[in-house]
Amino acid sequence: MTAGQFGSLSDMMTYSVRNHTAFIAANYQVSERFSLFANLVFNDGRGSLGNLELDPTQAEGAPPGFNYRDISEIGRYSALSIGRTQQMYGFNWEFAPNWVASVVGYYANYVDRHPWLFETDGRTAGVHGGISYIF
Amino acid sequence: MKRTTTALSTTLLLLALGGAAAAQESAGSPPPDGSGGHFFVGTRGLDNANYLGKVSEYDTARQGLRPSVGTNFWIQRGSTFLDVNGEFRGDARDQQYGVDFQVGRYLRIRSYFVQFLHRLDHDPLKDFDAGKGGPLVWHEDHAPGVDYLPNYNEVTTRLEFTVPHAEWLRFHAGHRSYQRHGPVQARTIAHCSSCHVQAVTKNIDQRTHEFTGGVSLRFHNFSVDYEYLNRQFNERGETPMMLYDASIHPVKLIPIFGNRVSFDDRDGPLPFSMVPDGRKSRHSLRARAALPGDAKLSGAFTSASLTNKFTGLGADTWGWNGKFTIPIGKRLQFLTRARQTDVDADDVFVEIQEPTAIAGPHAGLTYPEAYPDFGSASFMRYSVRSRNRFSWKGELSARLARYTTLRGGYEFIRLKRDNFEIARTDTNRLYFTFYSRRRDTVGGDWSWRLRYRFDDVNDPFLHHKATLPPALQPYPSPNLSPFAGLQYYKLYAARQADLTAFPTKAHTVEPTVTWMPSMRFSASLHYRYRNLKNDELNRSEWKRSVHLPGVELWFAPLERLDFTVAYTFHNEHSESLFGIPVYDG
Amino acid sequence: MTRRSLCLMWIVLCPAAVFAAGDGGQKAGPAQASYVGEEACANCHADLAEQFGYSMHARLKEWEMRDTLSKCESCHGPGSLHVENSGDPSYIYNFKGEEGREASRACMSCHYSTHAADWPGSVHFMAGLGCGDCHKIHQSRRVLLPSANPFVGARGRNPELGAVRPRRAGPPETASLAKPEPEICFDCHREKRAQINYSSHHPIIERRMKCSNCHEVHGSDEEPLLRAPEGLNEMCTSCHPAQQGPFVFEHAAVEEGCTTCHNPHGSVANNLLAQNEPFLCLQCHEAHFHIGREGIDTPIDRPTGVTGNPYGAAGWRRAFTTKCTSCHPSVHGSDLPSQGITSRGGSLTR
């Protein structure tokens, strides 16, 4: 075959998405004046393009500097694997009539196990607390 | 005309002024006076690490301690009611307020303000870094490390006024203003013969003002609602400029040709990533009538106009829909509905100064002149937005027993596209839902729900001749040089295989079952399954399956202690044809 | 204001007088009963009466009432027999056990315009839901209704308020929902609870948006219950106007609907994309022929003087199969022509 232009290569490609999402919540009214709560959310998400299997023999005589065999690897470049956690724990305490102290602890984590464009791992943890006057 | 307008306006004004202070007595017992609420003062402290764009995508997440205040209070004095709520989360970019003010049932004003950040990605473009000695793939990020945190804020206010002594007449007016401002990334690419991707920071300042005004007429058996909407969108941020690289010979790497790509550095800096200002207006009219036999008839008419203020292009939409529902006996309910929407968007001729080659055998010729079988390039762009959509639906709902309903129906949808290869898509849809609850039994309360829907689509949207077919088609070049052979347009003309992401057949099944044996425990299982397939593509088959099972448990071992545990699994699998031309430009 | 529109207005207003009188609302309860007044109801239902007293329905005016000025009995029907029979619930209309059309009848006698106009025949209506399945009419700002979950309050579990549970502040009056959004929607639409927690999502869990920002739960012309009198795209562009166009260079898939590419409830891929690039795009477009090219392994000097080529022979393949919108960022459409003759400016790179 004369070197130059040829036709095409093709294959059926696949894309898979998988998500596991779990919630746990607990609420406890310990007494008339004191209550506790907790919320947890876990999410594991994945997405990937299935490996292609092009037949490089179909491109024999292709122009020099071309490689169709390794196109099967392109699924790796855009694969996603992400783990997320969000947790909240807190309490409300009516320490005096109409006065409530509340504290919430908060933690969120993002784990990028297979960075796509750049690593996007992150974490934030904090506390939110204060006093409420109820009237 | 002027006299009529004056008379009408005066009448309405007198009605409004005369009745506003003459509040009628409350019905029955007057509502008690009262108030309540809370004020919160506190602090918020965060410790953050690494990239926050995902873990705190909509949160300011400022490191350290910040003040936090909030309030939520209400006051009722007779028939006057005021409700105020607000939160300040330690950062001016993150707050939210609302007020609801009602006077004597005649006047109601609601206003709402929200402001928050949205963290966007900063694409580092690092994947654009390759070479082959000559042609390059390379990138420049002119703003490395910049955080893209545009701010979103919105104020929405709505006023409703019922005319005293003509309470069947109600006016409403509203204003919505929202703004996105801050830095975002803007990208573009210059090519031929290197692919040079560049990114800059673009400071957006997008403001939208939306005004609505309308009137509602309410009678015992009949109501009419009319609303007019006017929306103005302006991008006040500057459009970035870029000097696109010179087009060069891919082997000799010198600009021996003319501008082969329609524009390059010879045209000076050019704008990119431009957001056009827009203007929209819409009239909506809706009417509803209660008919004998508990039947209901409703209809609506919409007329809208959207204009791109930069180009002057517009799209006009008009649509109507009608719905009729009637009970048949004590156990059946019949519904039929028809709807039509027509979109007419402007076509546009794109004025292009076709470049000519400056050297070689085609010097002085445009591309079509150099390659006659290219055909005449048509620069008339026919809008694919122009279309007509009609749908009709018939549905029957049957109450088989107490708390047990079976609902089923058929819907036909016809979509005609004025300017697209797939001129018409018809959808036939069948669906049913079965729902049942059983209470107060020895085994506890049970509820089941089963939903099924089937779509049969003729000629769904697809990309016609998107890729070369799987079969190899050799095109030997006239000589051994890969750059003196097949031209782009011949390659594109050789494409035969259609590609799509739309099904011809779609099944959706959703069973759900909930069991509540006592007031302290409930369990629920749910599943959503979708199977989509397009087996009418000319050279391949497209498929997608979606599984979404889940379980939810709620348990209260003590009267004041409860737990909720839920898990959902999502598994989605798609198949589509991947095609690549064996070609070297 | 044109003459035509003025005439239209009068044509509508004049016949209004004919219908304005009306013949009263729905009749509930035994026909032999008579109205006894709210005070009689409050004698036994003191808690409910106290809560209800601060609700919007307690502030109704005479002109909003139909057969009676007693607010309780305007929905529950005349209560004389109920009182005479020591509160026997069979002598009063109590909504328990009602479903669908019957459960909504009392509410529809007043709420039949604007957003509630489409309730008869809507998806939720036809599924047998009634107004009371989501709304709690008696609750108000005054007192929380007792519930199995004592922590359902003004904003549900809002961590930003420190989970404060004011004892005297009920849910906002706008809807008087039994639970706040989105929790009330998740009672039936359970998989959506998971989806809004995927890595790319609208700010629903952050409480900046609610389901009802996009969905008109009482009924709508556009499925699935969208606030979109003109269609899906119009609803999305009401908040994302930068994509509304109409553009000179269009992307036909966008005109088919935003959900061609996006999953608005949540997704793993960025920007609410149903699948990540490049697969999303490769479903309808072929791959660039450049990805067959093999690069060199040695460092390459850039025009800027920076040396690069970290991916070696795989560089070309990687550049064109990682993220299509790096080069084609104007994927929703553009007014500016892109480079390229054969595409006639429509490559959406600019």
* DSSP sequence for B240-300: PEE-PPPP--TTT-S--S--TTS--GGG-SEE-S----EEEEEEEEEEEEEEGGGEEEEEE
CB B242 within 8 A of CB B198: yes
When comparing pLDDT for C315 and C1, which is higher?
A: C315
d(CA A125, CA B49): 9
| pLDDT for residue B471 | 53
For residue C278, cis peptide bond before it (omega within 30 degrees of 0): yes
Q: Do B477 and A130 touch (CB under 8 A)?
A: no
b/e map C180-189, b = 16+ CB within 10 Å: bbbbbbbebb
Taking only the tens place, the pLDDT of each residue in B384-437 is: 999 999 999 999 999 898 888 999 999 999 999 999 999 999 999 999 999 998
Q: Do C113 and B216 touch (CB under 8 A)?
A: yes
Instruction: Report the percentage of chain C scoring pLDDT > 70.
Output: 81
Q: Does a structural domain hold residue C11? A: no
Q: Do A80 and C276 touch (CB under 8 A)?
A: yes
Question: Which of C263, A14, C195, A71 has the alpha carbon at shortest distance from B582?
Answer: A71
d(CA B407, CA B427): 20
CB B38 within 8 A of CB A133: yes
| pLDDT for residue B407 | 93
CA angle B410, B415, B418 (to 5 degrees): 170
Using a 10 angstrom Cβ sphere, with 0-12 exposed, 13-18 middle and 19 or more buried, the burial of residue B261 is: buried
Tell me which residue has tokens 């999410």.
A43
Q: Does a structural domain hold residue A104? A: yes
Q: Is the pLDDT of residue C155 over 70?
A: no
**What's the gap in Å between the CA of C54 and the closest CA on chain A?**
15
List beta partners, residue A6.
none
Q: C331 CB near a chain B CB, below 8 Å?
A: no
Q: Do C245 and B385 touch (CB under 8 A)?
A: yes
Q: Does a structural domain hold residue A71? A: yes
Handedness of CA C102, C107, C112, C118 (dihedral sign): negative
Q: Does a structural domain hold residue A4? A: no
Band of residue C108 on the pLDDT scale cut at 50, 70, 90: confident
| pLDDT for residue A15 | 97
Long-range contacts of B141-144 (CB under 8 A, 24+ apart): B141/B198, B141/B199, B142/B198, B142/B199, B142/B200, B142/B201, B143/B185, B143/B199, B143/B200, B143/B201
Low-confidence ranges of chain A (pLDDT < 70): 1-6, 59-63
Q: Does a structural domain hold residue A124? A: yes
| pLDDT for residue C251 | 97
Q: B333 CB near a chain C CB, below 8 Å?
A: yes
CB B111 within 8 A of CB B99: yes
Chain C positions touching A73 (Cβ under 8 A) are 314, 317
Chain B positions touching A132 (Cβ under 8 A) are 38-40
Q: What end-to-end distance do the CA atoms of chain A give, in Å?
A: 89
Range of the domain at A52: 15-133
| Interface ipTM above 0.90 | yes
From the list C38, C250, C289, which residue is nearest B28 (CB)?
A: C38
CB B532 within 8 A of CB B503: yes
Q: Does a structural domain hold residue C62? A: yes
Q: B272 CB near a chain C CB, below 8 Å?
A: yes
When comparing pLDDT for B307 and C344, which is higher?
A: B307
From the list C159, C198, C314, which residue is nearest A43 (CB)?
A: C198
CB B357 within 8 A of CB B261: no
Tell me which residue has tokens 């005439």.
C7
| pLDDT for residue B314 | 97
Q: Do B542 and C283 touch (CB under 8 A)?
A: yes
Chain B residue with Cα closest to C228: B302
Band of residue B376 on the pLDDT scale cut at 50, 70, 90: confident
Taking only the tens place, the pLDDT of each residue in B31-49 is: 889 888 889 999 999 999 9
Q: C246 CB near a chain B CB, below 8 Å?
A: yes
Stretch B536-545: mean pLDDT: 95
- Reduce the secondary structure of chain C to three states and give it as a string: CCHHHHHHHHHHHCCHHHHHCCCCCCCCCCCCCCCCCHHHHHHHCHHHHHHHCCCHHHHCEHHHCCCCCCHHHHHHCCCHHHHHCCCCHHHCCCCCCCCHHHHHHHHHCCCCCHHHHHCCCCHHHHCCCCHHHCECCCCCCCCCCCCCCCCCCECECCHHHCCCCCCCCCCCCCCCECCCCCHHHHCCCHHHHHHCCCCECCCCCCCCCCHHHCECCCCCCECCCECCCCCHHHHHHCCCHHHCCCCCECCHHHHHCHHHCECCCCECCHHHECCCCCHHHHCCCCCCHHHHECCCCCCEECCCCCEECCCHHHHHHHHHCCCHHHCCCCCCCECCCCCCCCCCCCCCCC
d(CA A28, CA B117): 33
Chain B positions touching A85 (Cβ under 8 A) are none
d(CA C55, CA A126): 37
Q: Which residues contact C250 (CB under 8 A, 6 or more apart)?
A: B381, B383, B384, B385, C333, C346
Stretch B560-574: mean pLDDT: 95
Q: Does a structural domain hold residue A2? A: no
Find chains touching chain C: ≥3 CB pairs under 8 Å: A, B
Considering the entire predicted model, what is its pTM?
Answer: 0.90
Q: Does a structural domain hold residue A10? A: no
From the list B24, B87, B407, which residue is nearest C62 (CB)?
A: B24
Chain C residue with Cα closest to A85: C197
* Mean pLDDT score of chain B: 88
| pLDDT for residue A129 | 93
Q: Do C246 and B32 touch (CB under 8 A)?
A: no
Taking only the tens place, the pLDDT of each residue in B449-487 is: 999 999 999 999 999 999 976 555 454 554 544 445 567
Band of residue C66 on the pLDDT scale cut at 50, 70, 90: confident
Handedness of CA A68, A69, A71, A77 (dihedral sign): negative
H helix or E strand, kind and range, residue B14: helix B2-20
**What's the gap in Å between the CA of A55 and the closest CA on chain C?**
12
From the list A21, A117, A132, which residue is nearest C164 (CB)?
A: A132
Chain A positions touching B130 (Cβ under 8 A) are none
Chain B positions touching C139 (Cβ under 8 A) are none
Strands B136-141 and B195-218: parallel
Q: Do A19 and B570 touch (CB under 8 A)?
A: yes
From the list A25, A67, A135, which residue is nearest C292 (CB)?
A: A67
| pLDDT for residue B486 | 67
What tokens does B69 get? 């205040």
Q: Does a structural domain hold residue A60? A: yes
**What's the gap in Å between the CA of A135 and the closest CA on chain B?**
5
Range of the domain at C147: 37-159+166-173
From the list C285, C339, C346, which residue is nearest B466 (CB)?
A: C285
Chain B (223-252) residues lying within 8 Å, Cβ to Cβ, of chain C: 223-225, 231, 233, 235, 244
Q: A110 CB near a chain B CB, below 8 Å?
A: yes
Q: C132 CB near a chain B CB, below 8 Å?
A: no
**What's the gap in Å between the CA of B131 and the closest CA on chain A?**
11
Cβ pairs bridging B and C (under 8 Å): 463
Chain A positions touching B122 (Cβ under 8 A) are 118
Q: Does a structural domain hold residue C1? A: no
d(CA A36, CA A27): 6
Chain B positions touching C149 (Cβ under 8 A) are 562
Q: Does a structural domain hold residue C260? A: no
Q: Is the pLDDT of residue B315 over 60?
A: yes
Q: Do B385 and C250 touch (CB under 8 A)?
A: yes
Band of residue C142 on the pLDDT scale cut at 50, 70, 90: low
Chain A positions touching B570 (Cβ under 8 A) are 17-21
Question: Which of B152, B177, B123 has the alpha carbon at shortest distance from B58?
Answer: B152
Chain B residue with Cα closest to C255: B385
- Helices C3-13 and B2-20: angle between axes, nearest 10 degrees: 40
Stretch B527-533: mean pLDDT: 98
From the list C159, C166, C282, which residue is nearest A106 (CB)?
A: C159
Band of residue B120 on the pLDDT scale cut at 50, 70, 90: very high
Stretch C215-232: mean pLDDT: 90
Q: Does a structural domain hold residue A34? A: yes
| pLDDT for residue B440 | 62
Cβ pairs bridging A and B (under 8 Å): 233
From the list C195, C239, C319, which residue is nearest B128 (CB)?
A: C319
Chain C positions touching B323 (Cβ under 8 A) are 118, 121
Using a 10 angstrom Cβ sphere, with 0-12 exposed, 13-18 middle and 19 or more buried, the burial of residue C69 is: buried
**What's the gap in Å between the CA of B153 and the closest CA on chain C?**
11
Alpha carbon C176 to its chain's center = 15
Q: Do B55 and A124 touch (CB under 8 A)?
A: yes
Q: Does a structural domain hold residue C107? A: yes
What are the angstrom distances between the C-alpha of A13 and each of A37, A71, B133, C292? 46, 12, 32, 17
* Mean pLDDT score of chain C: 80
H helix or E strand, kind and range, residue B492: helix B488-493
Q: Does a structural domain hold residue C193? A: no
Strands B151-162 and B107-117: antiparallel
Q: Do B47 and A28 touch (CB under 8 A)?
A: no
Structural domain total, chain C:
1
Out of B505-514, C291-300, C316-325, which region has the weakest mean confidence (pLDDT)?
Answer: C291-300
| pLDDT for residue B4 | 45
Chain C (14-53) residues lying within 8 Å, Cβ to Cβ, of chain B: 16, 19-24, 37-39, 53
The most confident of the ranges C137-141, C169-173, C295-299, C325-329 is C325-329
Find chains touching chain B: ≥3 CB pairs under 8 Å: A, C
When comparing pLDDT for B27 and C118, which is higher?
A: C118
Taking only the tens place, the pLDDT of each residue in B246-301 is: 888 777 777 766 677 788 888 899 999 999 999 999 999 999 999 999 899 999 99
From the list B79, B105, B461, which residue is nearest C256 (CB)?
A: B461
Q: Is the pLDDT of residue B585 over 70?
A: no
Structural domain total, chain A:
1
